[in-house]
Structure 1
Amino acid sequence: MLSALQVITTVAVGLMVGVEFSVAFVMNPIFEALPQDSNQQARSHGGRMLGAVMPVWYIGSLVLVGIWAVAGWHHHGTRLVVIAAALLIVSVIMSVLLLVPINNQGKTWTPDNRPDDWKQQMKRWDRYHYFRVAIIVAAFAALVAALV
C-alpha cells in the first residue's frame, strides 16, 4: 500500500513540476514571441485555465506527501519526504501571497482594459514563478531520493 502511495505521489508531483517548468521555459517564451496583443491574451487565457487547476494540484500534492510522511514515518527516506512537504508548503504560501494576486488581475485583462504596466507585472510574475519552479523541483528531487 505504501509503495502505491509513493508512486502516485511522485507521479502527481512530477507532472505538476513538468507543467510549471513548461509554463516558465516553454509557454511564456512562446507567448513573448507572439505579435501585438496576442501575448497578453494568451497569458490571460492561461491564467484562467491554469488558475483553476493548479490550486487543486498543489494542495492535492501536498496532502499526498503528508500522507506519505505519516504512513511511512518509520521507513527509510521519511526525512526527505518531510523536506519535500516543507518545500511544497513554501510553494503554496508563495503562490498565495505573490503569484495569485498578479494572476487574478492578469486573467481579466483584455487589450482594452489592461494597465499600462501589464508587461512589468507579467515580468514580476515570471520572476516569482522561476523561484517557485526551483522550489518544487527540489521537492520532487527529495521525493525521488526518498524512494532510493
Structure 2
Amino acid sequence: MLVTLAVITATVVGVMVGVEFAVAVFVNPILLRLPAGSSLEARADGARVLGRVMPFWYCGSVLLTAWLAAVTWGRPAGDAAMAAAALLAVSVVMSIALLVPINNRSATWTADHHPIDWREQQQRWDRLHYARVAIIVAGFVLTLVAGTVA
C-alpha cells in the first residue's frame, strides 16, 4: 500500500507542478507578448478554466502528501513527507491570500472592459506564481524523496 500511495502522490503532485511550471515559464510569458485584447481574453479564459480545476488539485496534493506523511510517520521518509505536505499547504494559503484575488479579477476582464493597470496586475500575479512554483517544486522533490526512502 505504501508504494502505491507514494506513486499516486508523486504522480498527482508532479503533474500539478508540471502544469504550473508550464504556465509560469511558457504560457503566460507568451500571452503577455500578445496584443492587449488577445492577451486579456486568453488569460481571462485561462483564469476561468484553471481556476475551476486547480483548487481541487492543490487540496488533493496536500491531502495525499499528508496521508503519505501519516503512513511514514517515525520512518526516514516521514520527515520528507511532512515537509512536502507543509510546503504544499503553504502554497494553498499563498494561493488563496495572494493569487486568487488577482485571478478572480482577471477572469472577468475583456478586451473592451479592463483596468488601466491590467498588465501590472498580471505581472504581479506572474511574480507571485513564480514563488509558488518554487514552493511546489520543493514540495514535489520532497515527495519523491519520501517515496524513494519509504
Task: Say yes or no: TM over 0.5.
Answer: yes
Q: CA deviation at 1:75?
A: 2.7
Q: Give the deviation of 1:29 after TM superposition.
A: 1.5
The residue matched to 1:37 in structure 2 has which SS? helix
* AA partner of residue 55 (structure 1): P
2: CA distance between counterparts of 1:27 and 1:56?
A: 21
Give the alignment's TM-score, normalised by structure 2.
Answer: 0.95
Unaligned runs of 5+ in 2: none
- The DSSP-based 3-state class of the residue aligned with 1:108 is coil
Quote the Cα distance in structure 1 between the aligned partners of 2:72 and 2:83.
Answer: 14
SS at match of 2:76: coil
| 1:16 aligned residue | 16
The one-character-per-residue Cα deviations of 1:67-89 (angstroms, maximum 9, x if unpaired) are: 11111213321100000011011
Question: Does the 8 A contact of 2:38 with 2:111 survive in 1?
Answer: no
1:55-134 matches, cutoff 5 A:
55-134=55-134
What amino acid is the match of 1:24? A
Shift >4 Å, 4+ stretches: none
Shift in Å, 1:113:
1.5
Q: Count the aligned residue pairs.
A: 148
The normalised TM-score by structure 1 is 0.97
Q: Using the alignment, how far apart are the partners of 1:89 and 1:29 within structure 2?
A: 27
State the one-letter code of the partner of 1:129: H
Aligned-pair CA distance for 1:35:
2.8
Between the two proteins, what is the percent identity of the paired residues?
Answer: 53
Partners of 1:120 and 1:35 lie apart in 2 by: 15
Which whole-Å CA distance do the structure 1 matches of 2:71 and 2:84 have between them?
Answer: 15
Aligned position for 2:49? 49
Unaligned runs of 5+ in 1: none
CA distance in 2, matches of 1:43, 1:32: 9
1:87-144 deviations in Å (ceiling 9; x for gaps): 0111000000000000000001111211111111001100100000000000001111
**Structure-1 residue corresponding to 2:4:** 4
Q: Matches of 1:3 and 1:45 in 2, distance apart?
A: 38
Which residue of structure 2 lines up, in the alignment, with residue 29 of structure 1?
29
